[in-house]
Every structure is written in C-alpha cells, then in structure tokens.
Amino acid sequence: MTSTDEENTMSNITVWTTPNCNQCKQTIRFFEKDGISPRINDLSAPENLDKLREIKAAGHHQAPYVETPTDAWSGLRPDRIVQAVSQERQATPSPSLQSPTHTRDMST
C-alpha cells in the first residue's frame, strides 16, 4: 500500500468507468487528491452489462458515471465532485474528533 492509499479514506462513492477514458481518470484523480478513494468499476466488464443498461435507461450516455449516497451524474463534473467530497467528509467524522473509547476516573 502506498502512502497515498493510506491517506485516502474508502468512501461510499462509486465511479463507473470505461477503458482508456481520460474523463474517468481525471474524475478518480480529483477524488483521490481530496483524500477520497472511490470504488471503481469497469462498465465494459461483462458482469456489469445490467448496470450499463440501467445507466443508459436513466439517460446517461457519457463516462464516467458517478454514484454517491445522495447524487448521480455522468461525465467529468468538478463542481459535483467538490460537493460529493464535502458530503463524504461530513458523513465520516475525523478520528481526532471521535469520542474516546475509554474513560478515566478523575475523582482521585
């Protein structure tokens, strides 16, 4: 695992890609630059044919297709990526802000 992988947080974001898609690569880089590791799935894989049909039926005809818990879009959309990163950070609290898992008796 590289240091970039260690810094990135696995997310609830999925990027559906196609081979040799520059917009797909840029979308993934935008997320990773902001510390988010999206799940990446290849729409050209035979096991994803139903998903490809679903995406096209919804009116999307451009890769990448991005799914978040609250949104979905196709194409390179830096504005939507910024919004998704912000929502992802709000949904996943920083470890430094989480409550401690232990208690200490301060009465002594």
Q: Are 93 and 9 in contact (CB under 8 A)?
A: no
Please tell me the pTM assigned to this model.
0.77
Distance CA 78, CA 100 (A): 36
pLDDT in tens, 40-76: 999 999 999 999 999 999 999 999 999 999 999 999 9
What average pLDDT does the chain have? 84
Distance CA 101, CA 33 (A): 31
